[in-house]
């Protein structure tokens, strides 16, 4: 299923994510600060991508743009084939609601709501009825193995469990894409493994997963690794072990940002 080519052969139409010359310049008191300096990247349906890079290299900035939470200073971004650059605020909100599932480092569950209500929250903004919301939330909680905690509250469960609930929330509207910025950053290594196993399972089910991490062993769960440095992609390669395990060609050597960019 996975096309073993980091050099995006796919046209924007069948890519979940396709960015060209993506630039983000923050306006700061000290003057303009270029956090992204023209990034090209294509991610197809069903891919599992880890984004790595030193602190301040622009990973979160990039994720915020992918998540339609922020707008680029320049460049184009096609999300499931639609150019989001010029979409209105409300349109972006709807797009986030229907197409993207967010998983945060700090879980970000709403403390006063039961886990079930937390999971169901995106559906409130999809204007689904109460019964459907309840049923789907139960299903998602079951999927992450926490259906028995449906009426419990975030403060009563462990960090790993909270992150599972957050993943259930991200999944509830059947998104094409899961975006996770350091999802294991607040978890111990054992729990991190569990969460990564969950992401792996979701990816096996065909959901595109893009996550940011600092840790190599976390990144190795992904099938493809993209490395940022100073606002640019400096390498884009398949994960060696995974590539072998998938029975594809032998380990792909890291490629330069220029090569990693889609041909179009």
Partner 1 sequence: MLRAMLGEAWHAMGSNKMRTALTMLGMVIGVGSVVLMMAIGQGAQYAVAQTISTMGSNLYVIIAGTTQASGVRSGGGFGFTLRVADAEAIAELEDVTYVAPMQQGTQQLVYGSKNWSATVVGTTPEYLDARSWTLASGYVFGESDLRSATRVALLGKTVIENLFEPGEAPLGKTIRVRNTPFTVIGTLNPKGQNLDGRDQDDTIIIPLSTSQRKVFGVPFAGSVRSIIVQAASAEAMPSVEKSVTALLRQRHRLRDDAENDFYIRNLAAAADSAAETTRVMSMLLGAIASVSLLVGGIGIMNIMLVSVTERTREIGVRRAIGARQKDILAQFLLEAIMISVTGCLIGLVLGVGGALLTNAITDMVIVISGGSVLVAFGVAAAVGVFFGFYPARKAAALDPIEALRYQ
Can residue 23 be called a binding residue for partner 1 (CB under 8 A)? no
108 binds, among partner 1, ligand ATP, Mg ion, none (CB under 5 to 8 A by kind): partner 1
What are the φ/ψ torsions at residue 213 (nearest 5 degrees)?
-150, 155
Considering the complex, what minimum distance in angstroms separates the CB of residue 52 from ligand ATP? Answer: 9
Asked whether the beta carbons of 115 and 152 are under 8 A apart, the reply is yes
Q: Which residue is nearest to ligand ATP (CB)?
A: 60
SS percent in the chain: helix, strand, coil, step 5: 35, 25, 40
With CB under 8 A, what is the number of residues at the site for partner 1? Answer: 27
- In sequence order, the β-bridge partners of residue 47 are none
Instruction: State which residue, 31 or 111, has the beta carbon closest to ligand ATP.
Output: 31
Residue 56, contacted partner among ligand ATP, Mg ion, partner 1, none, CB below 5-8 A by kind: ligand ATP
Name residues whose C-beta falls within 8 Å of residue 188's C-beta, 6 or more positions apart in sequence: none
Is-contact 153 111, C-beta < 8 A? Answer: yes
The CB-side HSE value for 169 (13 A sphere, CA atoms) comes to 30
Q: Which of 42, 57, 162, 173 binds ligand ATP (CB under 6 A)?
A: 57
Burial tier of 118 (Cβ tally within 10 Å: 0-12, 13-18, 19+) = buried
Task: From the list Mg ion, ligand ATP, partner 1, none, pick the one residue 96 interacts with, judged by a Cβ distance below 5 to 8 Å according to partner type.
Answer: partner 1
Which span (65-73, 77-85, 144-152, 251-259) binds partner 1, by CB under 8 A?
Answer: 65-73
| 43 closest CA partner among 225, 248, 240, 199 | 225
- Token representation of residue 75: 């460049």
Residue 125 touching ligand ATP (CB under 6 A)? no
Is 106 among the residues that bind ligand ATP (CB under 6 A)? no
Catalog residues that contact ligand ATP under the rule CB under 6 A.
Answer: 26, 28, 33, 35, 53, 55-61
Catalog residues that contact partner 1 under the rule CB under 8 A.
Answer: 64, 67, 69-70, 89-90, 93-94, 96-98, 102, 104, 108, 110, 112-113, 121-122, 124-127, 130, 133, 169, 173
């Amino acid at each position: 299923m996975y096309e073993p080519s980091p050099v995006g052969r796919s046209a924007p139409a069948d890519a979940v994510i396709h960015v060209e010359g993506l630039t983000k310049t923050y306006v700061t008191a000290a003057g303009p600060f270029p956090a992204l300096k023209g990034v090209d990247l294509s991610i197809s349906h069903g891919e599992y991508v880890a984004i790595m890079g030193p602190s301040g290299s622009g990973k979160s900035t990039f994720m915020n743009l992918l998540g339609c939470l922020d707008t680029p200073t320049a460049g184009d971004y096609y999300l499931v084939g639609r150019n989001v650059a010029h979409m209105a605020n409300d349109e972006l909100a709807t797009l986030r609601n229907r197409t993207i599932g967010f998983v945060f480092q700090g879980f970000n569950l709403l403390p006063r709501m039961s886990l079930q209500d937390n999971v169901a929250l995106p559906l409130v903004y999809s204007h689904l009825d109460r019964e459907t919301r309840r049923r789907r939330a139960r299903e998602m909680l079951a999927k992450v193995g926490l259906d028995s905690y449906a009426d419990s509250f975030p403060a009563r469960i462990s960090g790993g469990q909270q992150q599972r609930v957050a993943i259930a929330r991200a999944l509830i509207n059947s998104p094409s894409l899961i975006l996770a910025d350091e999802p294991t950053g607040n978890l111990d290594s054992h729990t991190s493994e569990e969460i990564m196993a969950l992401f792996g399972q979701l990816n096996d089910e065909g959901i595109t997963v893009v996550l940011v991490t600092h840790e190599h062993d976390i990144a190795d769960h992904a099938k493809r690794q993209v490395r940022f440095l100073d606002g640019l992609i400096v390498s884009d390669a398949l994960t060696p072990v995974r590539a072998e395990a998938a029975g594809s060609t032998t380990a792909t050597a890291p490629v330069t940002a220029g090569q990693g960019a889609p041909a179009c």
